[in-house]
Amino acid sequence: MASLNVGSLGEYIREQRRNAQYSLRQLADAAGVSNPYLSQIERGLRKPSAEILQQIAKALRISAETLYVQAGILEERHGDAPGLRVAILADPLISERQKQALLAVYEAFLKENRESAEPAADKAAETGG
């Protein structure tokens, strides 16, 4: 587990709040946290719990995983296209269901490519090439 990167987390939350066109007070109300507490998070002065991050993510209509990755609580899944999943999950223009559908299609393509690459690698190993 990586260390909590509070400064960039706060900046990220502020950016997402502005993209969603929320005032600090509006987001605090929607997330169920106090206005001063949210301000401290955005300024990198407080380390929010995973539960608070989840509340903020829900209010921003982004995936909690996005904030967990940003906070360093979770590692980015897989080494392939690390920013793609975060970008999809952070996009405020598509619904949570649409985000999950996009990620499922992407994962299916990756799985298909891995499976088709394995027989070719096995054949190359057999022929010494």
CATH classification at residue 46: 1.10.260.40
pLDDT above 90: residue 122:
no
Condensed to tens digits (0 to 9), the pLDDT of residues 41-83 reads 999 999 898 889 999 999 999 888 888 888 887 776 655 556 6
> pLDDT value at position 3?
43
* Number of domains composing the chain: 1
d(CA 82, CA 100): 16
Q: State the residue range of the domain holding 3.
A: 1-77
| Helices (H) then strands (E): counts for the chain | 7, 0
- 36 located within any domain: yes
Which has the higher per-residue pLDDT, 37 or 67?
A: 37
Q: Has residue 104 been placed in a domain?
A: no
The vertex-60 CA angle with 98 and 42, nearest 5°, equals 140
Q: For residue 95, which amino acid is it?
A: S
Q: How far apart are CA 79 and CA 108, in angstroms?
A: 16
% of residues, the chain, pLDDT over 70: 79
Task: Specify the higher pLDDT residue, 33 or 122.
Answer: 33
Does the predicted model carry a pTM greater than 0.75? no
Domain for residue 17, yes or no?
Answer: yes
Please tell me the predicted confidence (pLDDT) of residue 96.
80
**8 Å CB contact between 99 and 127:** no
Taking only Cα atoms into account, the Rg of the chain, rounded to an integer number of angstroms, comes to 19
- Is residue 73 assigned to a domain? yes
